[in-house]
A and B are shown apart, each in its own frame.
Chain A
Amino acid sequence: MFFVKIYRFFNKHKLLMYSILLLSSIVFVYFGLKLQYEEDLSNLLPSSKSKESGLVFGNLKVKDKIFIQMQGESPQTMIQYIDELMDSILVYDEYIANTFYKVDADLGLSAIDYILGHIPIFVDTSLYHQFDSAIAQATTTMAENYELIMNDESGTITQMVSTDPLNLRQFILPQKSTNLGYTFIDGHIFSKDSSVILAFISPNFQSFDSKSGSNFIHDISTAIDKFSESHSDVEILLHGAPVRSAGNSDVMKHDIFFTVGIALLIILFVLCISFRSVSIISQQIFPVVYGTFFSLACMYWIKGCMSLMSLGIGSVVLGVAISYSLHVIIHQKFTGDIVQMLLDEAKPVCLGCITTIGAFLGLMFTQSELLRDFGLFATFVLIGNTLYALIFLPHFLKNKEKQSNNKILTFVDKINQYPYDRKPLIVIFVIMIIIVGIIFTPKVKFDNNLKHIGYESEKLLKSEALYAEKNNNGGIQRYYAAISPTLDEALNVNQKLSHCLDSLKNKGILTSYTPIVSQLFQSQETQKQRINAWKAYWTKEKINQANTAIHLAAQKYNLDANIFMPFQAMVEMDYETGNLYQEGIIPDGLICNFIENSNNKYLIFNAVQMKDKSKVIVDEIIEQLPHTVVVDPFYYTGNMITLIHKDFNTTLLISSIFVFIVLFLSFKNIVIALIAFMPMFFSWYVVQGFMALLGLEFNLINIIISTFIFGIGVDYSIFVVQGLLSGARGENLQMLDYHKTAIFFSAFVLIVVVLIMLVATHPAIKSIGISTLIGMGATILITYSLQPLLFRWISKNVFFNKFLKK
């Protein structure tokens, strides 16, 4: 009666109704359009188990960098080309935090200068015994020095030799650690075999700023395309997290537009033909659009942003939303009386809405941002759509206009009136499907790897494969980080991490690891220890011993021993600790691979190479170390998704209990509540069982479909039960037919949406299709056959009959 009263009130005050509708529409559209979208899959997952691993999901340059690879014949040509290409990319400086594609000569000069001023801190205390050998071998070394000095045309090498005649530098920085695993030609970075030149770009936008991400990747791609047109002798490839994210976003947007657009066109065309009315288009579209913008505005007010993927999956909800207005429109077409239509439809539509919301609200109990966004978005779409369908839509329907049957509706009637519940073969078939579903349910698998539901273009995969082949020995490169609030603490933690990685390398688990960071950066405490060790080693006696050895060796090669005065200064000098990280000597584009400050915490990165199969073992070992993280969001999301899956059974149970309570309170009879509950209950087992039988796996996205199947299953069964009750009570014998016609068109709408999803490009959207199709089919079969059959059996019961007549 509530909605009838509202209808009558607004019928007398049409201007007020239109004003409220217009004003609310403007408000919802305005705020709905202000909603921001999150497109990075990894950011949509549960906040990780510890605050430290949470940093991995944030903005880290080492994780978010863009890799540009150029493959060509001549290194010199590639050097010229990469400079040219980077010049055209560097104009987009508003998106760039730093780049690393060439090492300026001043880096070498400043690095040598810094090392010279802080030599003791680069000498591990375990190396001093090798200094003794160096002193003992002064004559041999002097022979090499002589060659170096005599061949020196500029005096630079002489300067180095005069400071270090004993070649102590060999112990300070192993040569291989200084090349970072790349080949440097004229200061440019090449793969080990010099066939690929590399450039790295660290974006300066936040990882959730999808707009900037997409714009920048588009700008880079345009620059590359333009460059490639005039330089066909090289191939340029691009990969990295922002590239993956932008590709994902573009395909997702295209798929959403494509699936929703095409589905709407087909649905509206069929509805127009079926009901021979063009106005049905506006009557169908407006509730959905109103509900969608109502939801987007609510999401903006509550959260400010939501995941684009939730919106993509949300297109399925539009199918449910359409079904409510369909029920209202179709019922009106058959009764020709708006008040009667509201009296008949308000309760099942509201009940369907509440139970469906209940099913979606179960998602709010998960820890996943994606699922919560989807649950909230779907809930608001349904609320907005239902309110429109029951408050505003009736005013756009024509009173006293009954639908005359045409060929299509006659055909639909024939399908609906077929006595599925009285055909033993169909009933047995449905029961068999349910039994098979229940048997195979335990065998259904869950894929927890988010990468499998993200879109990867062929070019992106080619670029990643080329980088792995040229730089990672065909294996993978992985970063592990030590984390602490202060740089000193982080460096101390990193010492332990470094030892652990070293031992893994010695065991052959890692194919490559050079502790560059622990060689370059030391905590103040370690630096003091090393300076003390230097002082302790270079006693007067030791200095005399070294000087004597150098003098004798110099004499042997006719060199003036006085040229080695800087050596004496070096060993006698008083040293102080330094802070290489803050000196600004190492360019930002390079240092971000070693150290980064994020959220007031210092992360010290260690790059290692390994075979893909070793990843799981190494990750587990490193994760056990205190204050140490795996710098790969997918490592944590994998665990989290497994947790979500485990949580999901609890979520479904909560939803089921909620739905069942609503059904029981509404129908006030436990048997009817059970009959209404049955389709959603069994269809879930059928979906799981047949997914297992077909060898399909659930993932984070299509598991959401289970809630959708819950929602739609409940809706259909509520309408069928309402029709059955109305018929059994002798109130309206045609009610069931009206509802079945609406269910038919609702199912048609959803099947169209789902089928179009099957041809989508994005794996996440595509994966929704098949599981929904199975669920939809099972729901309709159970609703049309088992539900009426059980209702008929129970109607024969005396006590139940008494309840019906109440």
Chain B
Amino acid sequence: MKRILIIIASLLCLYSISGQTIESTFQHTKFIKASGKNITSNGHLKFVYPAYLEMKYSVPQGDYFIIDGKNVKINMNGKKATVDTDKNTTIRNQRNTLINCITSNYEQAANDNNANISLSEKNGNKIIVISAKKIATRGYSKITITYRKADNMPLEIILEEFNGTINTYKMSNIKKK
């Protein structure tokens, strides 16, 4: 019964976002558990349904992470690359997870990560927690997404890796077009 509800909720969210362009500012925090370091950066996000996600960093200036169809363009830590996700499982997983989280297609995100889903509500927001069933070399041990209940806009995405590294994306000034 829970699974059916999740699927229905997921489909409704997907319907609500399809055909839209979303723009927002974001703050990205990377916590490296091993060293205890926190790296904070921020920038501007633009998403065009179904699979264009542009994250342009203003801090550090010039860095970007762009999903354009099956290609991912990266300019981070001084390294530039355009990755064909058909040839790279790790980046493909990262690409799919982000797209699925933004489009509220968390059912798919859970499947991709061999994970369970749980739904809850807090402060009028919908919270989805995707927890991996099994440890893996790649992918995420836990994904937490907070959606604005009114319009299913993602407010926060937390991606936890198996080595404890946590990437948190907090969206603000969200505009739908």
Which residues of A pack against B, CB within 8 Å? 104-106, 109-110, 113-114, 116-117, 149-150, 152-156, 158-159, 161-163, 559-560, 562-566, 568-570, 572-573, 583-585
Contact = CB atoms under 8 A, between A and B. Distances in A.
Contacts of B22: none
Nearest to B165: A155
Nearest to B73: A106
B162 interface: yes
23 contacts: A105-B74, A105-B81, A106-B82, A106-B88, A109-B81, A109-B88, A110-B87, A110-B88, A149-B35, A152-B37, A158-B163, A162-B34, A162-B162, A162-B163, A563-B33, A565-B135, A566-B136, A566-B162, A566-B163, A569-B162, A584-B86, A584-B87, A585-B87
B121 to A, nearest CB: 30
B34 A156 contact: no
Given A117-B89, A569-B162, A560 B34 contact: yes
A560 B32 contact: no
Given A106-B81, A106-B82, 9 more contacts: A116-B138, A152-B35, A152-B37, A153-B37, A158-B35, A159-B163, A559-B34, A560-B34, A566-B137
B176 interface: no
A562 B87 CA distance: 29
Contacts of A560: 33-34, 164
**Which residue among B79, B80, B87 has the maximum number of chain A CB atoms within 10 Å of its CB?**
B87
Given A155-B39, A560-B34, A563-B34, A113 B90 contact: yes
B18 to A, nearest CB: 30
A538 to B, nearest CB: 14
Interface residues of B, number: 33
**Which residue among B30, B77, B136 has the maximum number of chain A CB atoms within 10 Å of its CB?**
B136
**Which residue among B80, B88, B134 has the maximum number of chain A CB atoms within 10 Å of its CB?**
B88
A361 B69 CA distance: 66
B137 A158 contact: no
A152 B138 contact: no
Interface of B: 30, 32-35, 37, 39, 74, 76-77, 79-84, 86-91, 134-138, 141, 161-165
A562 B164 contact: yes
A155 B138 CA distance: 14
Nearest to A586: B87
Contacts of B138: 113, 116-117, 566
Contacts of A565: 135, 141, 162-163
A113 B91 contact: yes
Nearest to B86: A584
Contacts of A568: 135
Contacts, number: 101
Contacts of A158: 32, 34-35, 163, 165
A573 B137 contact: yes
A457 B37 CA distance: 61
Contacts of B76: 154
A80 to B, nearest CB: 15
Nearest to B163: A162
A113 B82 contact: no
A660 to B, nearest CB: 71
**Which residue among A117, A155, A566, A568 has the maximum number of chain B CB atoms within 10 Å of its CB?**
A155
A159 B91 CA distance: 14
A704 to B, nearest CB: 54
Contact of A570 (B74, B79, B137): B137
A419 to B, nearest CB: 88
Nearest to B85: A110
B6 to A, nearest CB: 26
Contacts of B163: 158-159, 162-163, 563-566
Contacts of B162: 162, 565-566, 569
Contacts of A583: 87
**Which residue among A113, A116, A564 has the maximum number of chain B CB atoms within 10 Å of its CB?**
A113
Given A104-B82, A156-B77, A566 B135 contact: yes
A203 to B, nearest CB: 25
**When A and B form their complex, which 3 residue pairs have the shortest distance between CB atoms, in order from nearest?**
A162-B163, A105-B81, A106-B81
B80 A154 contact: no
A159 B167 CA distance: 13
A109 B136 contact: no
A227 B76 CA distance: 33
Contact of B137 (A116, A150, A559, A584): A116
Given A104-B82, A113-B91, A583-B87, A159 B136 contact: no
Contacts of A113: 88-91, 138
A444 B134 CA distance: 80
B63 to A, nearest CB: 11
Nearest to A583: B87
**Which residue among B34, B82, B165 has the maximum number of chain A CB atoms within 10 Å of its CB?**
B34
B76 to A, nearest CB: 7
Contacts of A584: 84, 86-87
B106 to A, nearest CB: 23
B80 A105 contact: yes
Contacts of B84: 106, 110, 584
A155 B30 contact: yes
A737 B160 CA distance: 107
B79 A105 contact: yes
B40 to A, nearest CB: 13
A487 B88 CA distance: 23
Nearest to A160: B163
Contacts of B33: 560, 562-563
B135 A159 contact: no
Contacts of A159: 161, 163, 165
